[in-house]
Every structure is written in structure tokens, then in C-alpha cells.
């Protein structure tokens, strides 16, 4: 009978030892908090399917971004919910549209103290709920949409956004936006490309948060969940068009895609723990079926371990607080 010499358990014996040898670490600066602002709202309003998250009023949004900056979060990602929608998403491009105004107010408060990102997509602003404008047959018209994205990009850059989150999944959107930004003199405004964004069931609660009017689905532009290799192809296209950061979304059901992208990306890689991922943890925790804090910590750590440098998560504020006060013994037992 021979006993093992190689005993990995030696390095698991105490919290201090586990801390020393941890391969992956989380810090508040890795985290980006998505925030919603609704036009004309007087008080923040809870979102039923996203416990703890709210639709902000313009004033409460500014306070939330100030708090995120004071906590040392890496950034915020802003989404606007307009009062009026139309076929071309006019509210996305006017300087007084809810999102453009919010960007200006937020930048006036925090300046360069935290990275302010803005969602660049038309779905919140169109009355049909699609991410672009439609052609006569009712299909999303790729190139007509690119022209709208160009206008939206310049409006957001003018309002002061540091990073534009291109989430529409139109072909050529990164290059089109880069051209428009550069032509307008905004060469310093960065792009975060949703490179591999899948047509996912996990976006359900987000659509409540933005009061989405979408009747069908987005399968003609968002990616097919069956496809892994295509994630790398989308990343390569976005890099060739000048993306500064690439993202994979959702995160947990797509960790294989995230690992592939992270293995070959020369630019920082982000991943989005989307509304449905967050809602599942909240729902299970509310039933007493899982330990909420441990599940949130483990899920975000897993996303980072798979290769994300940056994680967008609705739990960013709470998680940053926990990172300051680790549980004795560390997380997850
Ligand atoms: C679309 C967009 C979506 C999300 C953010 N921007 C997805 C969609 O409606 O198809 C989802 C984010 C989440 O679920 O948390 N521009």
C-alpha cells in the first residue's frame, strides 16, 4: 500500500493558504454596474423581475453613479427608457433624449472618476422594439441601422460618454461607429463591442426593466446559441473594425465561448452576467435553496476564471462591498 506524495490538499488547509494560492482574484475595479434611467420618473422604481435593481429617475441615477465611483467600481453602463418611441428610435439621437441627457448629467457629477459607458442600440427607442430600423418587409435593415448608430454614437460622445457599448449585433457596426466618431473629432471615445452576443432566453428581466415592446425575437441578428466557433469569428471582425474591448454575453451559459475569445483576444475581454442569470440566483436564494452571497461570489469568480477581465453584473455594488469585508474562511465554504 503506497500513500500519495502529491497531496493538493496541503494548499487547501487554511483560509490563509487558500488565499495565497488563489489563481483568480476579484476586485471592485473589475466590475461594471448596469443602470437604467427612465424619462420623467420622479422616484426610483423597483423592477419586479430584478430584485434590488431599479429604474432610476434622472436625479437618482446621478447619485447611483457617484456611489459606484466612491466604491471604486470599474465603470457603469447606462441604459435609457424613453417616454415616447417611434419607428426609427428618434429619442436615441436627440441631445435631450433620456440617455444623452443622463450621460451629460452623470459626467458633470463624476467627470473622469469612473468609466461611464452608454448602451448604443435602438431597441429601447423603437416602437417595434427591434435593435434597428426595419425595411419594407419588416426585417431589420442592417445598413440603414448603421447610419442610425453613427448618429447615436456622435450624440453619446458629444454628451461625454467614455465608452460606447455597441450591443445591436449589426454587421459592420464597430467600423461604422468608429468612422463616425473619428470624422466628428471623437477619436478618444472608446468602443466596447458586444462581439459574441447570443439570442438568449436570459434577457427576460432586462426587457421588463426597459419596458421592451418587442413582439418576436432577435434571431436574425443575435447569435445562435448552438454556435461556438462563430464567437471567435465575430470577435475577429470587431477587432478588425477597431473595437477597443470585446464582450461575450450572456456569461454563464457561454463560458466556453468566453474562454475561446479570451485565449486569442489582444484587447481586454468583458462578459455580461445578464438579467436572467442574476434573477435565477435571486429567486433560488429567496426560496432558501442556495446561499445568496456565496452564489453571487462564485458565479462572478467563475466568469473571471473563464477569461473575463471585466464583468458587467447587477450585483456589482454589493459584491464590491463584500470584497472589502471577506467572510471568515472565504467564500463558498
Ligand atoms: C439589447 C440589449 C439586451 C440586453 C442589453 N441590451 C438584450 C436584448 O434585449 O436582446 C440584455 C441585458 C440583460 O439581460 O441584462 N440592446
233-243 residue pLDDT tens: 999 999 999 99
Asked if residues 114 and 75 have their Cβ atoms less than 8 Å apart, the reply is yes
Alpha carbon of 274 to ligand 1 centroid (Å): 8
Asked if residues 303 and 252 have their Cβ atoms less than 8 Å apart, the reply is yes
Closest ligand 1 atom to the C-alpha of 34? 15
Q: Which three cell numbers stand for residue 169?
A: 449585433
166-219 residue pLDDT tens: 999 999 999 999 999 999 999 999 999 999 999 999 999 999 999 999 999 999
CATH code of the domain occupying 26-324: 3.20.20.70
Mean pLDDT value of segment 129-150:
97
**Residue listed under C-alpha cell 451559459:** 253
Residue nearest to atom 6 of ligand 1 (CA): 167
Bond prior to 116 in cis (omega within 30° of 0): no
Q: How many CB atoms lie within 10 A of CB 232?
A: 17
Pocket of ligand 1 contains residue 142 by CB under 6 Å: no
**Residue listed under C-alpha cell 443575435:** 222
Alpha carbon of 119 to ligand 1 centroid (Å): 9
Pocket of ligand 1 contains residue 167 by CB under 6 Å: yes
Residue 214 burial by Cβ neighbours in a 10 Å radius (0-12, 13-18, 19+): middle
**Residue listed under C-alpha cell 443622463:** 102
Pocket of ligand 1 contains residue 274 by CB under 6 Å: yes
Asked if residues 88 and 97 have their Cβ atoms less than 8 Å apart, the reply is no
Closest ligand 1 atom to the C-alpha of 278? 15
Does the active-site annotation cover 197? yes
Query: What pLDDT sits at residue 332?
Result: 47
Query: What pLDDT sits at residue 325?
Result: 84
C-alpha gyration radius of the chain: 20
**Residue listed under C-alpha cell 428610435:** 89
pTM: 0.96
Amino acid at each position: 500500500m503506497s500513500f500519495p506524495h502529491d497531496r493538493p490538499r496541503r494548499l487547501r488547509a487554511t483560509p490563509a493558504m487558500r488565499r495565497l494560492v488563489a489563481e483568480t482574484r476579484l476586485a471592485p475595479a473589475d466590475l461594471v454596474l448596469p443602470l437604467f434611467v427612465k424619462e420623467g420618473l420622479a422616484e426610483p422604481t423597483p423592477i419586479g423581475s430584478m430584485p434590488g435593481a431599479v429604474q432610476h429617475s434622472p436625479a437618482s441615477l446621478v447619485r447611483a453613479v457617484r456611489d459606484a465611483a466612491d466604491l471604486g467600481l470599474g465603470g457603469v453602463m447606462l441604459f435609457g427608457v424613453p417616454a415616447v418611441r417611434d419607428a426609427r428610435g428618434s429619442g436615441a439621437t436627440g441631445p435631450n433624449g433620456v440617455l444623452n441627457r443622463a450621460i451629460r448629467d452623470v459626467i458633470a457629477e463624476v467627470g473622469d472618476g469612473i468609466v461611464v459607458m452608454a448602451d448604443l442600440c435602438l431597441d429601447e427607442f423603437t416602437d417595434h422594439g427591434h435593435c434597428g430600423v426595419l425595411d419594407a418587409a419588416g426585417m431589420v435593415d442592417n445598413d440603414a441601422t448603421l447610419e442610425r448608430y453613427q448618429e447615436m454614437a456622435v450624440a453619446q460622445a458629444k454628451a461625454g460618454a467614455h465608452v460606447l457599448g455597441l450591443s445591436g449585433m449589426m454587421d459592420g457596426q464597430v467600423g461604422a461607429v468608429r468612422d463616425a466618431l473619428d470624422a466628428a473629432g471623437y477619436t478618444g471615445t472608446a468602443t466596447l463591442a458586444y462581439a459574441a452576443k447570443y439570442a438568449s432566453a436570459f434577457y427576460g428581466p432586462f426587457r421588463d426593466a426597459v419596458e421592451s415592446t418587442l413582439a418576436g425575437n432577435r434571431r436574425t441578428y443575435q447569435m445562435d446559441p448552438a454556435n461556438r466557433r462563430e464567437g471567435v469569428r465575430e470577435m475577429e471582425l470587431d477587432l478588425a473594425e477597431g473595437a477597443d474591448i470585446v464582450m461575450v454575453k450572456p456569461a454563464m451559459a457561454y463560458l466556453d465561448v468566453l474562454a475561446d475569445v479570451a485565449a486569442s483576444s489582444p484587447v481586454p475581454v468583458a462578459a455580461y452576467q445578464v438579467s436572467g442569470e442574476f434573477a435565477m440566483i435571486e429567486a433560488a436564494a429567496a426560496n432558501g435553496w442556495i446561499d445568496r452571497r456565496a452564489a453571487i461570489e462564485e458565479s462572478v469568480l467563475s466568469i473571471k476564471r473563464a477569461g473575463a477581465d471585466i464583468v458587467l453584473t447587477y450585483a456589482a455594488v454589493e459584491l464590491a462591498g463584500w470584497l472589502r469585508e471577506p467572510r471568515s474562511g472565504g467564500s463558498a465554504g
